[in-house]
Amino acid sequence: MYSGYLGVDVGSVSINLIVMDDDNQVIEKLYLRTEGKPILMLKHGLNLLHKRLPAGFKILSVGVTGSGRNLASLMLGADVVKNEITAHGVAAITFVPDVKTVLEIGGQDSKIIIIRDGVIVDFAMNTVCAAGTGSFLDRQASRLNVPIEEFGIKALKSTTPVRIAGRCAVFAESDMIHKQQLGYNEEDIINGLCEALVRNFINNLGKGKEIIEPIVFQGGVAANVGIKRAFEKLLEKEIYIPKNFDVMGAIGVAILAKEHYEKTGHTSFKGFDVADINYKTKSFECGGCENICEVVQFIADDKVVARWGDRCGKWSNMSKDGVEAKEGEKKAMA
């Protein structure tokens, strides 16, 4: 067991790294808070992971996912760069082969994935609103002064249902405060919040979708037993939570990375040493036309590795000469 596959999920709230063996078993797993510093935390995570793995451990290939996947891909030299829907779907199918529905709630995103015969056939993600996501719970927990880890356990102690408006996080908050003032007890209010979130999720994402068992619930929020029970109550169906529910996205891309390795026998992984490289991003406004695009330059040890954010493609397409665009050049390109 001296080789394996690395899967990395760079999300808005957490960065997850996992190393998996040939039998899809997780050897090491790391769950770190992003804290708005994806590059720094990813480097930190790589260092930690490297120390934990046995000496001489070989990474056969690497997959990245999450909203920071492109950044992570540049840093690591990833073989597979995939969106979160595919990653979560693949992981669910691998561990629950006959899965029909995947519910995933993360920090800023929530998704429902419909699977039939082992293929994703439909999905939905929350749109402009974050009411049905983990940050909604985080916010209310801090308002109630309850640590988020205890949130679910408290909800289970509820005896009397208290209804809280869940359409919008702002409505929910004022509704919750009013109920507090009327003297409802904390457990019942917390349970009401869990049910509000689940109602919002099903109404928004489940609209017009057939939610059939087996149902797999993954993502950080699956740790919350209150939410699990609320789903079971509303859907009147059993909900299954996989062992590594919190890192399923990372597992999904690791599986895809394994497939890649089996097909090609090759990896572009740059090694754990990348943690020592000095990465930074610099952005500037291109003055080439009235679009005024925000162009981001990704710099590794003073060399520009990539550029993106431009609409016309002149920056992203520019030969990766490794030279940072100087003020004058930006004008000259105009």
Residue 89 C-beta: closest distance to another protein, Å: 8
x/- site string to another protein, residues 66 to 85, per CB under 8 A?
Answer: -x--------------xxxx
Residue 305 C-beta: closest distance to another protein, Å: 17
Query: Is the CB of 25 or the CB of 203 nearer to another protein?
Result: 203
Alpha helices in 9-111 (DSSP H): 38-52, 69-76, 84-95
100 contributes a contact to another protein by CB under 8 A: no
Instruction: Compute how many other C-beta atoms are within 10 angstroms of the C-beta atom of residue 269.
Output: 19
In three-state secondary structure terms, 231 is helix
94 contributes a contact to another protein by CB under 8 A: no
DSSP assignments along 3-16, one per residue: EEEEEEEE-SSEEE
Query: Is the CB of 191 or the CB of 218 nearer to another protein?
Result: 218
Of 1, 207, 229, 241, give the one whose Cα is nearest residue 103.
241
Q: Is 324 exposed, middle or buried (0-12, 13-18, 19+ CB in 10 A)?
A: middle
Of 126, 132, 110, give the one whose Cα is nearest residue 196.
132
Of 16, 154, 173, give the one whose Cα is nearest residue 6.
16
109 contributes a contact to another protein by CB under 8 A: yes
Residue 137 C-beta: closest distance to another protein, Å: 19
Of 11, 14, 8, give the one whose Cα is nearest residue 32.
14
Q: Which stretch binds another protein (CB under 8 A): 53-61, 120-128, 134-142, 193-201?
A: 120-128
> Among 13, 48, 125, 148, which residue sits at the site for another protein (rule: CB under 8 A)?
125
Residue 14 C-beta: closest distance to another protein, Å: 16
Query: Is the CB of 123 or the CB of 231 nearer to another protein?
Result: 123
Considering only residues 197 through 216, tell me which ones interact with another protein, judged by CB under 8 A: 207-209
Considering only residues 300 through 319, tell me which ones interact with another protein, judged by CB under 8 A: 311-314, 316-317
Query: Is the CB of 12 or the CB of 267 nearer to another protein?
Result: 12
Of 49, 94, 45, 97, give the one whose Cα is nearest residue 66.
45
Q: Residue 298 pairs with which residues in a beta bridge? A: 281, 306
119 contributes a contact to another protein by CB under 8 A: yes
Q: Using CB under 8 A as the criterion, which residues of the chain lie in contact with another protein when the complex forms?
A: 67, 82-86, 108-109, 118-123, 125, 127-128, 207-209, 289-292, 311-314, 316-317
